[in-house]
Amino acid sequence: MLLQNKVALVTAGGSGMGKAGAERFAEQGAFVYVVDRDESATQSVVEGIREKGGEAAGIVADVRDLEALQGIAQRVEKEHGVLHVLYNNVGIPGAAGMDLSSEDWDALIEINARASFYLTHYLTEVLKAADGASVIFKSSSSGLVGSPFSPLYSFTKGGLIALVRSLALAFAADKIRVNAIAPGSVDTPGLSGFFRASPEEVEERKKAFFAQIPLGRASQPEEIANVALFLASGLSSYVTGITVPVDGGLTAK
How distant is the alpha carbon of residue 239 from its chain centre? Answer: 18
User: pLDDT at residue 194 above 70?
Assistant: no
Query: How confident is residue 237, by pLDDT bands cut at 50, 70 and 90?
Result: very high
Distances (CA, A) of 56 to 34, 90, 121, 219: 7, 18, 23, 26
Provide the pLDDT for residue 100: 84
Query: How confident is residue 130, by pLDDT bands cut at 50, 70 and 90?
Result: very high
Domain ranges of the chain: 7-184+222-245, 190-218
Of the residues 33, 87, 153, 238, only one is catalytic, namely: 153
Q: What is the pLDDT of residues 11-47, one digit of tens each?
A: 999 999 999 999 999 999 999 999 999 999 999 999 9
Closest by CA to 139, choosing from 243, 226, 227, is 243
Query: How confident is residue 197, by pLDDT bands cut at 50, 70 and 90?
Result: low
What ranges in the chain are assigned the alpha helix state H? Answer: 16-27, 39-51, 66-79, 102-109, 115-122, 124-128, 151-171, 199-210, 221-232
Q: Is 238 a catalytic residue?
A: no
Query: Would you tell me how many other CB atoms lie within 10 Å of the CB of residue 9?
Result: 31
Q: In what order do the strands lie in the sheet with 176-183?
A: 55-60, 31-36, 7-11, 85-88, 133-138, 176-183, 243-246
Residue 226 to residue 3: CA distance in whole angstroms: 13
Per-residue pLDDT, averaged over 210-236, amounts to: 94
Tell whether the torsion through CA atoms of 136, 141, 145 and 148 is positive or negative: negative
| Amino acid identity for residue 218 in this structure | A
pTM for this predicted structure? 0.95
CATH topology of domain 7-184+222-245: Rossmann fold (3.40.50)
User: Helix 102-109 vs helix 151-171: angle between axes, to the nearest 10 degrees?
Assistant: 30
